[in-house]
Structure 1
Amino acid sequence: MRIIRSKDFTAERAWGAEHIATMNGITTRLHWTDQPYKWHINDGQEVFVVLDGKVNMHYRQDGQEQTVLLDSGDIFYASVGTEHVAHPVGEARVLVVESEGSV
């Protein structure tokens, strides 16, 4: 058993992570960042939950780039093949659930 206080979590580099669990090939990690990630497509589905801060999530749908502002408590679901990139507004802490070994 473990209790993680997400608001207290920081990392030495942007997108540094605390591994929480791997269950049946699915990982759950807590990330801290103050920098954008990179455009990517995951190997499978991804659930992206903003726990603290704000994140501009850019994604491509039907060849068009879209952006949505995610606030604390908001969830972004990336289906298979969804190209996306997260841009935090200042510092953010994010819970990511995805296939083990995904980008």
Structure 2
Amino acid sequence: MKFIKGKEFKSDRPWGSELIASMNGISTKIHWTDEPYKWHVNDGEEVFVVLHGSVEMRYKSESEELSKIMESGDIFFASIGTEHVAHPIGEARILVIETEGSV
């Protein structure tokens, strides 16, 4: 059993995380960041939930770069092959559910 106060979680480095659970090859982690990630495509699908703060999610659709501002409680689903990058606006805490070992 584990309890985590999502809006209080902090790491000593951007995109630092704590593993919450690993179930049947799927990991659930909480991340803290105040810096952008990198453009990437996950090894599988990804669910990205903003727990606290705001994030500009940039993604590509048919080679066009698009973006959406996400607030606390907003969810982004990246299907297989979706190229994307998260840019926090200040500090953000994020829940990520993805295939274990994914980028």
Place the TM-score, normalised by the shorter chain, in its bin.
over 0.9
Q: Does 1:14 align with 2:14?
A: yes
Cα distance in 2, alignment partners of residues 26 and 36 from structure 1: 24
Cα distance in 1, alignment partners of residues 56 and 9 from structure 2: 20
Which residue number corresponds to residue 39 of structure 1? 39
Unaligned runs of 5+ in 1: none
Identity of aligned residues (%): 62
The count of corresponding residues between Structure 1 and Structure 2 is 103
Query: Secondary structure at 1:36's aligned position in 2?
Result: coil
Query: CA-to-partner distance for each residue in 1:46-73, whole Å, 9 max, x for gaps?
Result: 0000000000000000110000000000
Q: TM-score, normalised by structure 2?
A: 0.99
Aligned-residue CA RMSD in angstroms?
0.3
* C-alpha displacement of 1:31: 0.1
Unaligned runs of 5+ in 2: none
Structure 1 residue ranges, 4+ long, deviating more than 4 angstroms after superposition: none
